[in-house]
Structure 1
Amino acid sequence: MNLTFYKYQGTGNDFVMIDNRTNFFPKNNTKLIAFLCDRRFGIGADGLILLENHEHYDFKMVYYNSDGNESSMCGNGGRCLVAFAKQLNIIWDKADFEAIDGYHYATIDEINKVSLQMKDVDELQVFENYTFLNTGSPHHVETVTDLAQFDVKTIGAQIRYSDLYGKAGSNVNFVEQIDSDKFAVRTYERGVEDETLSCGTGVTAVAIAMYHNQFTNSNKVNLKVEGGDLEVNFEANNGKYTHVFLTGPAKFVFEGTIEIEAI
């Protein structure tokens, strides 16, 4: 069969998008999903996202890592899915949708800048050298020096697979402060098992962790990732973070078809 797909990227975090409103896609076929995400034999992406109908909201988001397994929330993927829904004329300038971590609200402007509301954060675990929190996906946040030369893949994998996080593992973010409200971030993503050019839930975790640990007193934080620039803003009240929004570009790359053999 020939499969129609769409390719999107948000600050270099790229996704295969499939309109699955007719429920034709074999969602349990991990080998097929991994093949489609393969950069040599398939389309190539950090993950695959299905857009599906929802009884109450505009649509439902189903997200898979590039290893073929369904995963936790993806912030950049959610932003790109909003842009995809706009391309399909499902929405115009705002969206209400459900993802694996619950309800999300988003706005999108005429140049596809998407502001996505992320889950509230009411628990951070602060240790001497790192902070752990969940922003829809689990994140280890650690400050380093000379981030540009840092071996993200090797050290990130060591932390991801360490006894700290057990079998489930964690995404790992390394951070260097640039200015009072700006940080450079590089992320090792579980499921991709490599550094990605950007991670939406990761920069959200970094912004909250940097504020919580008093690296910044601004609740509007700018994040420089390998694939561009993102912004996170939130309301803080006694260690609880609400109205958390991740904002940045969501770009359509191309549309195509790929022949799917039995996998």
Structure 2
Amino acid sequence: MEIQLTKCHGSGNDFLLIDEMTHGYTFTEEERRDLSLLLCDRDSEFGADGILFVGSSDKADAKMRVFNSDGSEASMCGNGLRCVGRYVCELLNKDEIIVETMKADLKVNQEQEIYEGLPTYKVEISPVLFDVDSLPMNIDQETLQNEIVPSISDTLSFTALAVPNPHLISIVTPDQLALQEEMAKKLNGPNEICPDGVNVSFVCPIKEGEIYVRTFERGVGFTNACGTAMSASTLTTCLLGLNQMEAVIDVYNPGGKVRCAAHKKADGSYFIDLIGNATYLYHAKLDVELSNSNVKILSKADLEEQANYEKLEVHAKEYLDSTLFA
């Protein structure tokens, strides 16, 4: 089969975007899984954290489905939604759209550049659920907010929330980052606490209005950034009094920087704004034979947008080295 795709990223969290709206692709669920496993493999020429399938919607401007590099489907992806938002906004010539996702229809709009020369989009992250059953997480309590779970760690406290992807958030010091990998791998392997796996984020406060987030993403592993994790981490710091609700927070990550703002509605529920880049790397046309895992590149057009993003990466790294990791 011939497939046209765009390689893109949000905060270094990279994806292959496939437009089903324009090209009329009719993938089976097995083909979506197999395409993710084949094309996202880091040993392949395309390697990515996942595939963004952009389809038509009966109730929104477009529909987004996200398949991780291990073939599993994610209920949401904030960084991916920015890329889909940009693609659909440009396709439909709109500045603001609604995108249907697995759990909610979410607003996306073009925003003032977060850094010079970077196409920037704001996406809504919701719903926010605090019931541990929504992750699911098997502990003997209904919610978990900044508490120790002895079966995970005797020293670190965690907050559990789904946005709607499941997240465990721990506020740590830079030297405690070394504890993350073993803990996250345990919770994403066969285990009784989080049987479906969970995104695990360690959050280092820098100063009020600034945090650093590193995430071990379910179905992927360590990524440069996870949009829903940065959003969930921002809300968590606000609930713990480290930052202020409604305020725009600079969120640094291994892939650069985004901005987030947590909001509380009149009914007591929450949502988060996630603001960051949506950068295109190249457009390509492939001939894919899933039966024998063969991929032939028919055409590829590299783009020049990444150079501007690399300037943001340098800026973010220099700032972290001079503050958090000094």
TM-score by length of 1: 0.91
- CA drift of 1:209 comes to 0.8
Is the 8 Å Cα contact of residues 147 and 174 (structure 1) preserved in structure 2? no
Residue deviations 1:12-62, cap 9 Å, x none?
Answer: 000100011213333322222210111212511101011111123111101
Which aligned pairs between 1:176-195 and structure 2 lie closer than 5 A? 176-192=204-220, 194-195=221-222
Write the distance in 2 (CA, Å) between the matches of 1:24 and 1:203: 33
Change in Cα spacing, 1:147 to 1:255, as seen in structure 2 (3 Å) is: farther
Does the 8 Å contact 2:129/2:162 carry over to 1?
Answer: no
> In the alignment, which residue of structure 2 is the partner of 1:51?
54
| 23-32 or 177-186: bigger deviation | 23-32
In the other structure, the counterpart of 2:246 is 219
Alpha-carbon distance, 1:101 to partner: 1.3
* Structure-2 residue corresponding to 1:118: 125
Answering whether residue 10 of structure 2 is matched by residue 10 of structure 1, we say yes
Q: Which runs of 5+ in 1 are unaligned?
A: none
Q: Which runs of 5+ in 2 are unaligned?
A: 113-117, 131-142, 149-156, 292-326
How big is the shift at 1:189? 0.6
Contact between 2:128 and 2:164, CA under 8 Å: does it hold in 1? no
Alignment-mate amino acid for residue 223 of structure 2 = T
Partner of 1:65: 68
Could you list the per-position Cα deviations for residues 212-236 of structure 1 after superposition, in whole angstroms to 9, with x for gaps in the alignment?
1222234322210111111111223
Letter of the 2:9 counterpart: Q
**Could you say which residue in structure 1 is the equivalent of 2:194?**
165
1:35 match: 38
Cα pair 2:129 2:164 within 8 Å, conserved = no
Instruction: Answer yes or no: is the 8 Å Cα contact 1:143–1:175 preserved in 2.
Output: yes
**Aligned residue number for residue 229 of structure 1:** 257
Work out the CA distance in 1 between the residues paired with 2:237 and 2:267.
12
Q: Select the residue among 64, 75, 100 that pairs with 1:98.
A: 100
Deviations 1:147-167 (A, max 9, x none): 59625433321233443212x
Structure 2 equivalent of residue 175 of structure 1: 203
Indicate if the aligned counterparts of 2:238 and 2:262 stay in contact, CA closer than 8 A.
no
Partner Cα separation in structure 2 for residue 125 and residue 238 of structure 1 = 23
Counterpart-to-counterpart distance in 2, 1:153 and 1:234: 27
Aligned with 1:81 (options 44, 60, 84):
84
Give how far 1:169 is off: 1.3
For 2:81 and 2:277, the matched residues in 1 are separated by 12
Distance 2:84 2:207 in 1: 31
Confirm or deny that 1:203 pairs with 2:222: no
Answer yes or no: is the 8 Å Cα contact 1:3–1:260 preserved in 2.
yes
How many equivalent residue pairs? Answer: 260
AA of the residue aligned to 1:67: D
C-alpha distance in structure 2 between counterparts of 1:149 and 1:177, whole Å:
13
State the 1:239 CA deviation: 10
Structure 2 counterpart of 1:136, from 161, 164, 181: 164
Q: Distance in 1 between matches of 2:14 and 2:202?
A: 20
Task: Name the structure where helix makes up a greater proportion of residues.
Answer: 2
Contact 1:138/1:171, CA 8 A, preserved across alignment: yes
Which of 264, 276, 289 is the aligned partner of 1:248?
276
Structure 2 residue matching 1:206: 3-state secondary structure: helix
Q: What stretches of structure 1 move > 4 A for 4+ residues in a row?
A: none
The one-letter code matched in structure 2 to 1:231 is R
The two structures, once aligned, show a CA RMSD in angstroms of: 2.1
Q: Take 1:147 and 1:233, find their aligned partners in 2: how far apart are those partners?
A: 27
* CA deviations over 1:119-174 (Å, ceiling 9, x no partner): 132536212311000112000001222259625433321233443212x1110000
